[in-house]
Structure formats: C-alpha cells, structure tokens
Amino acid sequence: MAEIPTSNPEIDEAAPSMLSLVLRKMWHLRMGVLGGLLIFCLIFIALFCPYLSPHDPFKQDITKRLWKPAFMEGGKAEYPLGTDHLGRDLLTRILYGTRISLVVGLAAVILMLTVGVTLGLVAGYFGGKADAVISFLVNCMMGFPFILLAMSLVAVLGASLQNIIIALGLTGWPVFTRVTRIETMKLRDREFVLAAKSLAFSTRRILARHILPNLLPAILVLATVEVARAIIRESLLSFLGLGIQPPTPSWGVMLAEGRDYMLLQWWLAAFPGMAIFMSALGINLLGDALRDLVDPYLRKT
C-alpha cells in the first residue's frame, strides 16, 4: 500500500514569499512576459543599433552583392544574414529598420489618441449635435479605404517620415473615437459621474479624472494593437513606394527590394518580413497582458 501523505508540503508552506508571488504572477501572464521581452529587445535594438550592427547600413559594395546568409553554404560569417542587391549587410539594415518602425508606430498612435479620444469624449459626453457631427465623420472615415486616403495624403504632403506619421495618424483615429464614445456614453449616466456633477466639479475635471481613467483599459488595449497595425501599415506604404524612401532602411522598403529576388534570394524578403511579424506579435501579446493588469478587479488576485 502506498502511503498517503497527511499533508501537502507545498500547501502547508506559510505565507508565500514575495519572489514566488511575482513568479506566479509572471507565469499567469507568461504570454505577456514573452511579448514584453520582444518589445524590450525591439527598444534595445532601436536605441543601440549603431553599436550592435556589424556594418554601415548605407555602404554599398557591388562586388559583395546578393551574398548568402552565414548559415547557408557559401555564406560568410562577416555578413550573418547575407547582403542585398547593392551589397549592403541585411542584418544591419534590419536592425536600423527597428528605429523607423517604432518611431512611426508610436508617433502615429499618439496622434490617433489625441484626435480620436478627444473627439470620442466630446461626442460621448455631450451627445446631441456634437455627437451627430462626429459620428458622421467617423462613419465617413471608416467607409473610406485606408490605402486610398493614406496615398492621397502622402501624395499631397510628400513622402517623408513626418508625413507618413501624419497620414497614418489622420487615417487611424476613428477606431479610438468609436471606442471612447461608446464607453463614455456608458459612464456618463453612472452615478459616480452624477455625484461629481453635484460636487460642482468642472466638466474638464469630470472628463479627465472620472471618465478618462475608466476608459484606460479599453483604450490601452486598442492602442497597443494600433501600434502594431501602424507598423504594418508603414511597411505597406513603404512597400508601395509611398512611404519611407530608399535608401533609408525601412522594413517595408526592404520587402519591396527583396520582392524582385524572391525566387532565388528568398532571405532578402523573409527576414524583414519576420521582423515585422515579431514586433507586431510582441506588441499584441503585451497589450493583452496589460489589459489584465490595469483592471482593478484583477489587480488583487
């Protein structure tokens, strides 16, 4: 007969240590931790790419063009991911591309947030005519194909980093307005907002301190997803030649350049594509975990 233990040592252990609590929490949010690590790597690379990259991203050497990656037969350890059609190091260009992607993603989303959340708050809180006008505008924007709008904006403004951000920001805000408007409408009639009104707080204070913080979880999750989308859209615009212009190393530009060599030199398109995928994945995983953390009802568990 097997002996039945009278007590489980793991359960008996008195108050769990801080470390084990943290570890348990991290296990609970393991996907978020993975996302966080990916994002951390991304930011680290963006900040320190001059020190990390083996070569100059702009230095062309026609004699070294289309070398294979180091892990393939004929590849050189000097160029770990091979070289492109102008003999530039692929790894170096991918590392430098991180900067463009992060800057565009973050700046575009900040622009979307400013426009979208403000309009959403106004439409949701005041309702009436303001809501009618803003909602109509949102519906028009949503019905308009993104590519067409972004293309015309870039065509008018000219293709530059700054204008890409403006184009992405001005096409992306309606999602934020929608979410903010609906959530604000739900909160507007809650009794704590009525209480704030009867305490004679200004409308600005009610919006900033009583409504906006309660919208944060929804907005935060949306914002992270939108960073990923903005990165993908920047690549798309650059791929079409409407975004970042060569020779600046943007992942989209590199995809476009690699397209011509897809059949034989597949790595030219595959590695920038993977970079886009990994960043978008990391941001989305982090966004999901953040939502769980920000929710005050889950904070104590």
Q: How far is the CB of 197 from another protein (least distance, A)?
A: 6
Binding mask 66-105 for another protein (x = CB under 8 A): ----------------------------------------
| Contact positions with another protein (CB under 8 A) in 192-211 | 192, 194-201, 205, 209-210
For position 6 contacting another protein by CB under 8 A, the verdict is no
Tally Cβ neighbours within 10 Å of residue 21: 11
- Tell whether residue 133 is a contact of another protein (CB under 8 A): no
CB of 80 to another protein, least distance (A): 48
Is residue 12 within the footprint of another protein (CB under 8 A)?
A: no
Nearer to another protein (CB atom), residue 150 or residue 187: 187
* 54 sits near another protein (criterion: CB under 8 A): no
Q: Answer for the pair 121, 211: CB distance below 8 angstroms, yes or no.
A: yes
Our CB check for another protein shows the closer of 217 and 273 to be: 217
Q: Based on the shown chain and the rule CB under 8 A, indicate whether residue 296 belongs to the binding site for another protein.
A: yes
Which C-beta is closer to another protein: that of 246 or that of 296?
Answer: 296
In angstroms, what is the minimal distance from the CB of 299 to another protein? 8
Among 214, 240, 270, 292, binds another protein (CB under 8 A): 214
Of residues 62 and 129, the one with the C-beta less far from another protein: 129
C-beta of 145 vs 300, nearer to another protein = 300
Sequence length of the chain is 301
186 is an interface residue for another protein by CB under 8 A: no
Near another protein by CB under 8 A, which window of 38-46, 57-65, 225-233, 292-300?
Answer: 292-300
- Regarding 301 and contact with another protein (CB under 8 A), the answer is no
Question: How far, in Å, CA of 255 to CA of 101, rounded?
Answer: 13
Q: Are 53 and 81 in contact (CB under 8 A)?
A: no
Residues 15-44 that bind another protein (CB under 8 A): none
Query: How far apart, in whole angstroms, are the C-alpha atoms of residue 167 and residue 117?
Result: 18
Shortest CB 186 distance to another protein, Å? 11
Torsion of CA 48, 52, 53, 57, to 10 degrees: 10
User: Residues interacting with another protein, by CB under 8 A?
Assistant: 190-192, 194-201, 205, 209-210, 213-214, 216, 296-297, 300
